[in-house]
Amino acid sequence: MRRGHPAAAAFGLEVWLAHPHVLVSGQGATRGALDEALARLGRSRRVGVVVPSFLLVPPLLAGSDLIALLPGRTLPADPQGRFVDFAPPIQVPGFPLHLAWHARRDGDVAVRHVAALVQAVLAEGGDKPGGHR
């Protein structure tokens, strides 16, 4: 969330759920892992906007009272201190990450190399890719 966000002063589940959220979904889904975790508690959140990429989230947060649940590796460098981050007030399972390329590129050494690098970086952080291609 942006620095100065009303939820930052007393962050907790109730405050977190009182504000609209950004949901990142490449398929345009309006529910995700967080919504499933909340449903198990008999709770729900209000999704204010759905975007297809994590790259679109920081500008949305900077100019609004939206809140986003993001993987730590997607948090942007923030030398101006525009954002604050908190651990989510409930446990949220991870999600699968898929690497994809066109079938014509299956034999491309460069594509395979980059895919292996991405997989290695994610594995170092404890995140497990959900598959490839």
Sign of the torsion angle spanned by Cα atoms 31, 37, 38, 39: positive
pLDDT tens for each residue of 18-31? 999 999 998 888 99
Tell whether the model's pLDDT for residue 5 goes beyond 70: yes
pLDDT tens for each residue of 35-81? 999 999 999 999 999 999 988 999 999 999 999 998 877 777 888 99
pTM beyond 0.95: the answer is no
Cβ neighbours, 10 Å, residue 68: 21
pLDDT band with cut points at 50, 70 and 90 for residue 132: very low
Q: Which positions ≥6 away from 124 have C-beta within 8 Å? A: none
Tell whether the model's pLDDT for residue 131 goes beyond 50: no
- The pLDDT value recorded for residue 74 is 78
Angle at alpha carbon of residue 91, lines to 87 and 92, rounded to 5° = 95
